[in-house]
A and B are shown apart, each in its own frame.
Chain A
Amino acid sequence: MSKIIDRSADIGEFVPEKDDDILVCRCEEITKGEIRKAVHMGLYTMTEVKRFLRPTMGLCQGQICGENVRRIIAKELKEPIEALKETTARPPVRPIEMEVFGNEVEKL
């Protein structure tokens, strides 16, 4: 059962921080401040922030920034990092050309 979250509950105001301009997601060029602001817009899960802003959605699929994004959102929600669900891991694990992906062969 998922955790019940009242999205109108008070998580405090967005307070600017000195390092808000630092890029967190290198692929999609998303800053820490953008992620923090998204949380205050009501996006309380990694998946929602990802879908709205695109961090972890680029070429590397969050392999580099995933944990940092998770930590930032959790901190903003004043939750421990493990309380925040990760985004779903999905195939392909590495980028793969469509023609190769489509070339399913049987090896015996």
Chain B
Amino acid sequence: MERITKHPIIESFDKGRKVAFTFDGKTMEGFEGEPVAAALKANGVMIHRYTEKRHEPRGIFCAIGRCTDCVMVVDGVPNTRTCVTLLKEGMDVRTQYGKGGTEYEKI
């Protein structure tokens, strides 16, 4: 479990209610209002997308919405910055392949 349950300084983390969402169709749990990226990380998901040219995996890098490396297809919308997109009940989060197709076009 990647969640911090006890912290010497921070008494409690400001969290919403527990909600279910899906990652590539698999149901996962997270807290409403936390970034999608945090919920994924807590569930052990490291790979957010595969790049267009080299098909290389990418994940969280800056976590504050600047680097755009953590983008995924969220509720059908590609290039969604998961580190600044807040989790909602029932969200459909998918690994992004290249520009946003769900799989690489095999030519």
Q: Give A residues with C-beta under 8 Å from B.
A: 26-27, 29, 58-60, 63-64, 94-95
Since A63-B66, A64-B62 are in contact, a sample of 18 more A-B pairs with Cβ atoms closer than 8 Å, ordered by chain A residue number, is A26-B58, A26-B67, A26-B69, A27-B68, A27-B69, A29-B52, A29-B53, A29-B54, A58-B68, A59-B71, A59-B79, A60-B67, A63-B67, A64-B61, A64-B66, A64-B69, A95-B79, A95-B81
Smallest CB gap from B80: residue in A = A95
Q: Roughly how many angstroms separate A54 CA and B56 CA in the complex, as a whole number?
A: 18
In contact, B66 and A60 (Cβ under 8 angstroms) = yes
A-B pairs under 8 A by CB, number: 30
Which B residues are closer than 8 A to A by beta carbons? Answer: 51-54, 56, 58, 61-62, 65-69, 71, 79, 81
A64 CB, min distance to chain B CBs, angstroms:
5
Most buried by B among A58, A59, A60, A64: A60
For the complex, what is the distance from the CA of A94 to the CA of B65, rounded to whole Å? 8
- Could you tell me the distance in whole angstroms from the C-beta of B83 to the nearest C-beta in chain A? 12
> CA separation between A58 and B71, bound complex, in Å?
13
Q: What is the distance, in angstroms, from A11's C-beta to the closest C-beta of chain B?
A: 28
Whether B61 pairs with A26 at a CB distance below 8 angstroms is yes
Residues of B within 8 A of A29 (CB): 51-54, 56
